[in-house]
Structure 1
Amino acid sequence: MKRTLLTLSLTAILSSSFYSTPSIAALDAVQPQINYTEMTSQRQVVDQLLNDAYQVFKNPSRISHAGFTAKMPSNMEMITSNLLDAYKLEPYRVDLLFSAANAQIYNSNVDRAIELFTQILDVAPDDVDAHSYLVIWQNFKGNKSEVTKHLNALEQLNKGRVADLKKIMSTIDRIVDTPLSNTIKKPAKGNNAIITLGYALNPDGSMNDILIDRLNATLTMAKKNPNTYIVVTGGVPKNHKTEGKLMADWLVKNGIDKSRIIEDNYARSTVENALYSSYALARHDIDHATIISSASHVRRGQALFEVASWQTGPKGITFDTYAANDRPLEELKVPTGGELLGIYRDALRVYGMWSYRSYPLEQR
């Protein structure tokens, strides 16, 4: 009797006479023509593609030099391929396109990334992030008319985002136009800090010569400016040791009072250097900070710390840099395309735009 009543109830619910139903013409959304068994199988395929992409992303193989550490290009292509295969199965999942586009940015293929960000607008023409990425990367390519087009679209969607993007671009322009320097300057007025960025440790946990070069510059500056705080930041462990800890120990061994040193033993990238250490600057109400890194890296470091400080403060903090001599400064007078790409890419990450947004492949 209960089964009969349940059957009658379901029949009534599905019947057009039971409730008012919109016309078929009004339902313009694409409806999946697939049964639950097939959907489960499709879900498993998508999950496997994303998991495969994540495993490739975690591969420890890197290209590394003093100013830049990157995933292997072949790995980025595999990640992109997996994400786009998943998107074919789930055409509403534009997060997959965002992730694939940013994989191409990491692969230095900006043209391909622009194609994918534009494809997102075919699905969601008012997507603020897609327009934002296109502003930045069309600006990188020098396509001013395209920059204007997407800024105009954003003016109708999110005026605050327009102001932020213009600020990011003008900040990067200013930093890039400022000559590199390896001169130790007098401290600025107010509270000062030195920020020394880490560099990957050797496999045995010892410090690379590039990192020691940064520390020698830090030591000289710290002794000439004895009232400054010193932030040492780097947290990628090797042989159970981190850059931040080893840098702090080295400075103490060479005569710097431990009370001046602030350790960050967690940051795994320049992005995290800026995000984590900016709170130390805020806590100590720092007015001016000098960033020490390799000459090929300091411009990116300054850009990221400036963007991070917009959120954390202190209000009005200023930054400059000291370029350790990994290469002659004259050779680096004009940033390479790869350096500039890294600055723009990571500035967006610090600003809060996630590069990968497709679980389990998620990373700011």
Structure 2
Amino acid sequence: MPRLIEKLLGSLLTLSSSSLFAANQTDTQQSIQATVEYSQFTTKRQVVDQLLIDAATAFKSPARISHAGFTAKMPSNMEIVTNRLLEAYDLEPYRTDLLISAANAQIYNKNADRAIELFEKVLSVAPEDVDAHSYLAVWQHFTGNDAESAKHMKVLESLNPGRAADMQRIFDTVNRIVETPLKTTFDKAQDGNTAIIRLGYALNPDGSMHDILIQRLEMTLAFAKKQPKSLIVLTGGVPKNHKTEGKLMADWLVEKGIDRSRIIEDNYARSTVENALYSSYALARHDIDHATIISSASHVRRGQTLFEIASWQTGPKDITFDTVSAADKPLDELKVPTDGELLGIYRDALRTYGMWSYRSYPLEQR
């Protein structure tokens, strides 16, 4: 036992000497230390935990804005989220996940330039981070910096050829869908196993369906009668007064004569990303060849992009999609997507693909 104690003391003395030696060195081989003063707190861990709790609280704040059924966090909340995450990063400069989460908060805030700065900061400490290069390839392309986007794609090809191919596939998918003219009428009946996908629309506070949702259900009903063998996927799970869009839409269609056995309810999806992720398993289970998505004209391009990406993982392998738009605005005004719509398409495409926007517990969100 004395010999063991002597050995431990010797190790401690060696560590102490090494620490003193390192402290007197002027070369670059020094550890990164936090520059923020936190001595007034019990531990640094408590400070970081509280900052992340504050960020999660701001993110989950009930203050929201909603247009055409699309729900987004208030920009002011996103500034709070970003600031708290960056304060936490100042204390823990090895936590690059905090930078990625902060950058994505700026994407939600529609500030792609600020997000790019933060993703670049990730590369300054982790130059081979595959996710950071992926984000930068997308957002530099979105802001029109194609040369910078190509640079990150080239790095991706050397680091992870599969990821580079997937990013290119996302670009190609978005380009094809954006260039496809919107339509408000149904094409001729499709052959094979077909499905109709009706994306939800926010319920009224009392849990009743909005007139816009009923109008779109009437479109769904007409198409369901035109294609009597098609399955009908009704997706929407944001509860209002203990009711969900999926269940109310199903009851409405059954009352109008649609056989309930044709209907698949998704009462859990809280966003278009979850609409696609959850419903894609239903499409795979029934080996659907073609699905038609019905939603607002300002929403269908994003919906189709996400459903296509979700199907890459779940199948069916050769499934195809098209869309029918409820004209919330004149189609001529929506012929070219706005920057806001295109940002939403790319943001949610990455989320559906599997790149989580927020990855810093307790703020974790796909």
| TM-score bucket (shorter structure) | over 0.9
Does 1:108 pair with 2:110?
yes
CA displacement at 1:5 relative to structure 2 = 6.6
CA displacement at 1:10 relative to structure 2 = 2.3
Partner of 2:160: 158
Secondary structure (helix, strand or coil) at the match of 1:167 reads: helix
Does 1:282 pair with 2:280?
no
Say what the alpha-carbon RMSD is for the aligned residues.
2.4
Secondary structure (helix, strand or coil) at the match of 1:28 reads: coil
Kept after mapping to 1: 8 A contact 2:209/2:245: yes
Residue 236 of structure 2 aligns with an amino acid whose one-letter code is: G
Residue deviations 1:185-223 (CA, integer Å, cap 9, x gap): 122221100000011111100011221122111001001
* Distance of aligned partners of 1:229 and 1:28 in 2 relative to their CA distance in 1, 3 Å threshold: same
Structure 2: 5+ residue stretches without partners = none
Partner of 1:169: 171
Partner of 1:8: 6
Alignment of structure 1 residues 29-178 onto 2, 5 Å: 30=31, 41-66=43-68, 68-178=70-180
Residue deviations 1:285-343 (CA, integer Å, cap 9, x gap): 00000000011100000000000000000010000001012222121111111000000
Partner of 1:231: 233
Deviates more, 1:263-272 or 1:54-63: 54-63
Kept after mapping to 1: 8 A contact 2:104/2:358: yes
TM-score (norm 2): 0.93
Does 1:241 pair with 2:243?
yes
Separation of aligned partners in 1, 2:70 and 2:175: 20
Secondary structure (helix, strand or coil) at the match of 1:210 reads: helix
Separation of aligned partners in 2, 1:31 and 1:77: 26
Partner of 1:209: 211
Kept after mapping to 1: 8 A contact 2:55/2:363: yes
Residue 305 of structure 2 aligns with an amino acid whose one-letter code is: A
Residue 337 of structure 1 aligns with an amino acid whose one-letter code is: D
Residue 316 of structure 1 aligns with an amino acid whose one-letter code is: D
Separation of aligned partners in 1, 2:90 and 2:248: 48
Secondary structure (helix, strand or coil) at the match of 1:153 reads: helix
Residue 273 of structure 2 is aligned with which of 271, 274, 279?
A: 271
Percent identity, please.
70
Separation of aligned partners in 2, 1:69 and 1:33: 37
Partner of 2:318: 316
Partner of 2:294: 292
* Distance of aligned partners of 1:27 and 1:104 in 2 relative to their CA distance in 1, 3 Å threshold: closer
Kept after mapping to 1: 8 A contact 2:41/2:47: no
Residue 31 of structure 2 aligns with an amino acid whose one-letter code is: V
Secondary structure (helix, strand or coil) at the match of 1:327 reads: coil
Residue 30 of structure 1 aligns with an amino acid whose one-letter code is: S
TM-score (norm 1): 0.94
CA displacement at 1:48 relative to structure 2 = 0.4
Alignment of structure 1 residues 245-256 onto 2, 5 Å: 245-256=247-258
Kept after mapping to 1: 8 A contact 2:78/2:105: yes
Separation of aligned partners in 2, 1:210 and 1:204: 16
CA displacement at 1:47 relative to structure 2 = 0.5
Separation of aligned partners in 2, 1:175 and 1:92: 39
CA displacement at 1:173 relative to structure 2 = 0.4
How many residues align? The count is 360
Kept after mapping to 2: 8 A contact 1:292/1:298: yes
Residue 10 of structure 1 aligns with an amino acid whose one-letter code is: L
Residue deviations 1:92-129 (CA, integer Å, cap 9, x gap): 11111000000000000000000000000001000000
Secondary structure (helix, strand or coil) at the match of 1:231 reads: strand
Kept after mapping to 2: 8 A contact 1:67/1:296: no
Structure 1: 5+ residue stretches without partners = none
